[in-house]
């Protein structure tokens, strides 16, 4: 079904913007509602979910090599229950790709292209991603290699230019209300870290499998450090008002003013968002298309790319009538839904697989 191969570095470069892209804009304010000035600690606790998710995905892959979660579910719990669980995974990924696309469209329309219909913004992004997905895993890996530096550079420039506006006293008192607020604040970014389970769709195509686990864990660490630094920058500039902002990083970028001519760097934030959203939607889109073809036992996933793209756009409108519903979903629904579908259920699958394998080995030894 997929003949291409990618390196472990390409997998890491695909996953980094997949997690960071949407987390950069909204997660600081969501985390600040619970953790207050300790919001920079929450990514550390959330990263534990990411490490666990990478470990689960890698162990499942070692037990059932060359298979994605859609295929190995049938091997672990049976054909019919596996098909049902596979359908739930596909529904989850298609729906949430629609959510990511809708969030992208809302941000672009609200912040920049206010007179452009959101349907045009969303459809053009899906069209672009569809060409990448049809190109295969190798094209997706090369696109990530090209775009990730473009994604990281504006973030670094923003951080450097913000240094004169930083108020370091905003970080105090550290853990003034104990450790529970940052743990509660870690629930939302934990939902984003659970997206590392997407590597289950990439591991079968790694050319250097021995580096797969290491690359996954290093990416978790890189995402954790990025979110910590961004949360600190936002806290140092906005202080206690962080929780009241919808897009704190956008508000922070407006503080930059050097020599009365180098200012209004919102376009840098938009560049980060568009490039990151492109890679993220493409990875989710690829997982949904590949998984759908495997669920239907097709010989190629390319015939389902365009129908899945139409579904993604439709889900972007069906699931969320307004931008307020999108924000509520990010706070109240997605973190729990993401952790359930991408960490807890795969953990249960791994436990069942290990038990079945041990029982099979014990039966084999008894019969011999």
The residue that leads in pLDDT, 209 or 215, is 215
* Residue 365: predicted pLDDT: 59
Could you read off the pLDDT of 1-43 as tens digits, one per residue? 678 899 999 999 999 999 988 888 788 888 988 988 899 999 9
144 touches 13 (CB < 8 A): yes
Which residues 6+ apart lie within 8 Å of 170 measured at CB? 37, 235, 236, 239, 240
pTM assigned to the model: 0.92
**Cα first-last separation, the chain:** 38
Axis crossing angle, helix 266-295 with helix 305-318, rounded to the nearest 10: 120
* Residue 368 pLDDT greater than 70, yes or no: no
Could you read off the pLDDT of 292-343 as tens digits, one per residue? 999 999 989 999 999 999 999 999 887 776 666 677 777 778 889 999 999 9
pLDDT band at 262 (very low <50, low <70, confident <90, very high): low
Burial category of 360 from C-beta neighbours within 10 Å (exposed 0-12, middle 13-18, buried 19 and up): exposed
* Counts for the chain of helices (H) and strands (E), in that order: 15, 2
Which tokens hold the place of 31?
């985390």
The residue that leads in pLDDT, 250 or 144, is 144
* Residue 194: predicted pLDDT: 94
Could you read off the pLDDT of 247-257 as tens digits, one per residue? 888 888 777 77
Share the mean pLDDT of the chain. 88
Helix (H, G, I), strand (E, B) or coil at 110: helix
293 touches 308 (CB < 8 A): no
Question: What mean pLDDT do residues 122-128 have?
Answer: 93
Could you read off the pLDDT of 55-109 as tens digits, one per residue? 999 999 999 988 999 999 999 999 999 999 999 999 999 999 998 898 888 888 8
The label of the residue with tokens 């905003």 reads 170
The label of the residue with tokens 């997660």 reads 27
């Amino acid at each position: 079904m997929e003949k291409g191969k990618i390196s472990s570095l390409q997998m890491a470069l695909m996953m980094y913007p997949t997690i960071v892209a949407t987390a950069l804009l909204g997660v600081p304010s969501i985390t600040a509602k619970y953790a207050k000035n300790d919001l920079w600690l929450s990514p550390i606790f959330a990263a534990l979910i990411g490490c666990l998710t990478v470990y689960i995905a890698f162990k499942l892959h070692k037990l059932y090599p060359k298979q994605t979660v859609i295929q190995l579910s049938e091997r672990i719990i049976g054909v019919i229950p596996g098909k049902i669980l596979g359908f739930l995974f596909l529904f989850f990924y298609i729906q949430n790709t629609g959510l990511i696309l809708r969030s992208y469209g809302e941000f672009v329309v609200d912040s920049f292209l206010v007179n452009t219909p959101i349907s045009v913004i969303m459809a053009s992004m899906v069209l672009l991603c569809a060409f990448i997905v049809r190109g295969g895993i190798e094209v997706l890996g090369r696109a990530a290699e090209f775009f990730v530096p473009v994604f990281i550079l504006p973030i670094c420039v923003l951080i450097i230019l913000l240094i004169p506006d930083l108020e370091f006293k905003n970080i105090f008192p550290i853990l003034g209300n104990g450790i529970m607020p940052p743990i509660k604040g870690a629930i939302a970014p934990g939902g984003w870290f659970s997206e590392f389970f997407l590597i289950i769709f990439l591991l079968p195509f790694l050319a250097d499998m021995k580096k797969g686990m290491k690359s996954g864990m290093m990416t978790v660490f890189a995402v954790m450090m990025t979110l910590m630094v961004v949360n600190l920058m936002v806290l140092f500039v906005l202080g206690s008002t962080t929780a009241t902002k919808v897009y704190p990083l956008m508000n922070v970028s407006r503080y930059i003013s050097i020599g009365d001519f180098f200012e209004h760097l919102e376009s840098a934030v938009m560049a980060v968002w568009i490039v990151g959203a492109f890679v993220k939607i493409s990875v989710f889109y690829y997982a949904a298309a590949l998984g759908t073809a495997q669920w239907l036992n097709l010989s190629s996933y390319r015939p389902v790319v365009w129908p899945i793209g139409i579904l993604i756009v439709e889900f972007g409108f069906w699931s969320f009538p307004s931008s307020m519903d999108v924000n509520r979903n990010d706070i109240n629904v997605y973190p729990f839904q993401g952790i359930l579908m991408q960490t807890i259920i795969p953990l249960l699958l791994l436990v069942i697989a290990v038990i079945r394998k041990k029982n099979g080995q014990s039966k084999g030894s008894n019969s011999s």
